[in-house]
Amino acid sequence: MSNLRGLLKGKNNLVVSLVALGVAAILPLFFDPLSNLTNNFILAAAFVVMALGLNIVVGFAGLLDLGYVAFYAFGAYTIGWFASDHFSSVNGGEGFHIAAGEFASNLPGIHLNFLVIVVVAVIITGIAGMLIGLPTLRLRGDYIAIVTLAFGEIIYRFAVNGDEITFGEGYKLTNGRQAISPIDSIDLPGFAPFDSAFSLRPFYWFCLVLVGIVLLVNFRLRDSRLGRAWIAIREDEVAAASMGVPLVKTKLLAYATGAAFGGISGAFLGSYLTSVNANNFQFGFSIFILAMIILGGLGSIWGVAIGAILLSFINTYFIPEVFNEVPRKIGLEFDLTILNFGIFGFLILLVMVLRPQGILPERRRALELEGVGAGDAIEVRAP
Amino acid sequence: MSTPVETPSTATGAGKARTLLATEQVSKTFGGLVAVNDVSFEIPERSIVSIIGPNGAGKTTFFNMLTGLYKPSIGRIVFDGKDISRTRPDRITTLGIARTFQNIRLFATMSAVENVMVGQHARMKAGLIGSILRPPKVRGEERSVRDKAHEMLSYVGLATRVHDELAVNLSYGDQRRVEIARALASDPRLLLLDEPTAGMNPQESDRLTAFMRQLREERQVTILLIEHDMKVVMGVSERITVLDHGEKIAEGDPVEVRANPLVVEAYLGKQG
């Protein structure tokens, strides 16, 4: 009986996913290929990938990660290093190419095909996630938040100061605020090279594929041995460990998976924006993504997707385009965009007061908010 | 790593069964407080053994050391020939020790079945990639784990209609049942029950006592019990260890322990 119900529920999610992705795929056909709205769609989709990645860490495993921006940075620098002329004198100025597009094939520097970049980004961010996670995830609760916050800030500082850090034949680590640019565009085998001067649609459709993948991973992991172990750890670490769940390893898997999606999305954004700038990796970004999850509903896959789209559009459309002039109309001398983060903060405040479980709450999380399942913790690590 | 454990042939009533778990002069201190002091004891395979003692005697601390939640400050714990004094809780579960808690610690927002499925975590193989790609092997494992969970719940007497009920919505007695099922799901050789009859009426306690014997007969499980209900303790245990202020003050079969003046004193206070 329950098997059948579980199966049907799984199929429901599949159907909803396909319909949602299908509708999303048709949307840009109603607008100009270079429309600013399409640009907004692309950014929203990229943020959905990140938010759903972070959802695995925060929503599923219950690890409050305040330094998610670090993985965005790792992903972005992966493409910055390996799909641009950053290492210009590699191979005697000839460059190093793997399935690079026609245009990039003749440029100096390292140029890997975007699909290769995705794999490399997953490996780099996955390893970075493990390295950051290994010392961090031995901690409990709030301490994880503090340490991840610090790591996020460390990576940002590295990105900024990487301009001064040189190695090899005078290569800079990051170019800091000067940005690594231009970045190769996406060039998939069997498709025309993506060209943002001609049409933004291919970027959007490609990012929708990434959204599809992250949705699949979220749904599959939620209803799996690992998903159950994450809920168990979230509710009661002591009981989970006593039932045979290895705490550090299980948390690490959540952390690394979340990190990988941050990296994939970061690499995509690097290519789409054609530059990787240290300014993008500030603390506020971690909160921006976290806010999407809280707004949508911690742990709720559809909720998080909606939260990400909503906040992304508030950020790229409603504030700068729709309401930007409002302060001037009432006689104030500033644009609304400078209040960006103030507005996000206010929105989060509203959600916390009016609907703390989020727009589309997850069943368990809603219960936990009512005080169910908060295990009274005893200290595992006694002296 | 395997350390041979001396098998004592002391008269325990359990014959010459080999020792499944032994503690050797185990102590646990928290700062200046000595919670468990120099306790050595043994559990013969397939026996039912109890630890009793007044509140604060160190019984639960002792349990927490056996399951790896605390590391002993001094001494060794040997399970089935392996030193597990410094072993992580999840590994100890994998080796074959499972437990229940004094205050029920179910995963409240998971269903009864899901709780028992978590209990099988250590016996499952599906990893990250397998969970995402779900090859037939993983699907098959998931199905058999779910089936086994239902089977365990029925075995401990949980009505089928509440198998998919959230743990938090179950009655107190049913929650106790689910906790035992969850512990049994890891196929333990040693089952630690921390005050399992707390809050039960005499009929329920009797049924649980019978169930413990049934467990031993049918599943060859060794049981270590912390219990306050003397009727249960005296009725089911082959051997009883008495702790007071963290120290072992008496040991023996129920008749011996009942007659021990130190035990009487610990429970009722010194006379005269």
Tell me if B68 and A229 make a contact (CB, 8 A cut-off).
Answer: no
**C-alpha to C-alpha distance for A324 and B184, rounded to whole angstroms:** 62
pLDDT: which is higher, A261 or A343: A261
Describe chain A by its helix, strand, coil percentages, rounded to 5.
65, 5, 30
Domain with CATH 3.40.50.300 in chain B: 1-96+188-272
Edge-to-edge strand order for the sheet containing B74-79?
Answer: B33-44, B19-30, B74-79, B82-83
Q: What is the pLDDT of residues B229-268, one digit of tens each?
A: 888 999 999 999 999 999 999 999 999 998 999 988 888 7
Q: Which residues pair with B23 in a beta bridge?
A: B41, B77
Tell me if B146 and A367 make a contact (CB, 8 A cut-off).
Answer: no
From chain B, the residues in CB contact with A257 under 8 A are 128
Domain A2-369: CATH architecture, name and number where available: Orthogonal Bundle (1.10)
Alpha helices in A83-200 (DSSP H): 114-136, 142-161
Q: What is the pLDDT of residues A143-181, one digit of tens each?
A: 999 999 999 999 999 999 998 888 887 888 898 999 998
Q: What is the pLDDT of residues A287-319, one digit of tens each?
A: 999 999 999 999 999 999 999 999 999 999 998
Q: What is the pLDDT of residues B46-78, one digit of tens each?
A: 999 999 998 889 999 999 999 999 999 999 999
From chain A, the residues in CB contact with B118 under 8 A are 228-229, 232, 240, 243, 245
- Residue A382 pLDDT: 34
pLDDT band at A277 (very low <50, low <70, confident <90, very high): very high
Count other C-beta atoms under 10 Å from residue B38's C-beta. 15
Tell me if A246 and B69 make a contact (CB, 8 A cut-off).
Answer: no
User: Of A129, A95, A101, A125, whose CA–CA distance to A115 is shortest?
Assistant: A101
- Residue B87 pLDDT: 95
User: Of A207, A213, A209, A206, whose CA–CA distance to A192 is shortest?
Assistant: A206
List chain A domain ranges: 2-369
Interface contact B232, partner A, CB < 8 A: no
Rounded average pLDDT over A3-27: 78
**C-alpha to C-alpha distance for A209 and A305, rounded to whole angstroms:** 14
Interface contact B69, partner A, CB < 8 A: yes
**C-alpha to C-alpha distance for B8 and A34, rounded to whole angstroms:** 84
Asked, as a colleague might, if the bond just before A182 is cis with ω within 30 of 0, I would say yes
Helix (H, G, I), strand (E, B) or coil at B33: strand
Task: Kindly tell me if the per-residue pLDDT of A376 is higher than 80.
Answer: no
User: Of B84, B73, B59, B77, whose CA–CA distance to B194 is shortest?
Assistant: B59
Of A221, A235, A382, the CB nearest to B108: A235
**C-alpha to C-alpha distance for A321 and A216, rounded to whole angstroms:** 33
B24, burial (CB in 10 Å: exposed 0-12, middle 13-18, buried 19+): buried
Task: Kindly tell me if the per-residue pLDDT of A378 is higher than 60.
Answer: no
Of B105, B124, B183, the CB nearest to A236: B105
Maximum C-alpha span of chain A: 67
Count other C-beta atoms under 10 Å from residue A367's C-beta. 18
A321, burial (CB in 10 Å: exposed 0-12, middle 13-18, buried 19+): middle
What are the angstrom distances between the C-alpha of B197 and each of A189, A375, B177? 67, 21, 11
Average pLDDT, chain B: 90
Interface contact A221, partner B, CB < 8 A: yes
Task: Please give the angle made by the CA atoms of A159, A307 and A136, to the nearest 5 degrees.
Answer: 45
Mark A82-116 as b/e (b = at least 16 C-beta within 10 Å). Answer: bbbbbbeebeeeebebeebbeebeebbbbbbbbee
From chain A, the residues in CB contact with B128 under 8 A are 221, 226, 253, 257
**Whats the size of chain A, residue-wise?**
383
Rounded average pLDDT over A219-238: 95
- Residue A154 pLDDT: 94
Q: What is the pLDDT of residues B92-143, one digit of tens each?
A: 999 999 999 999 999 999 999 999 999 999 999 999 999 999 999 999 999 9
CA distance A375 to chain B (A): 7
Helix (H, G, I), strand (E, B) or coil at A155: helix
Predicted complex ipTM: 0.89
Interface contact A220, partner B, CB < 8 A: yes
- Give domain B1-96+188-272's CATH superfamily: P-loop containing nucleotide triphosphate hydrolases (3.40.50.300)
Please indicate, yes or no, whether the overall pTM of this predicted structure exceeds 0.95: no
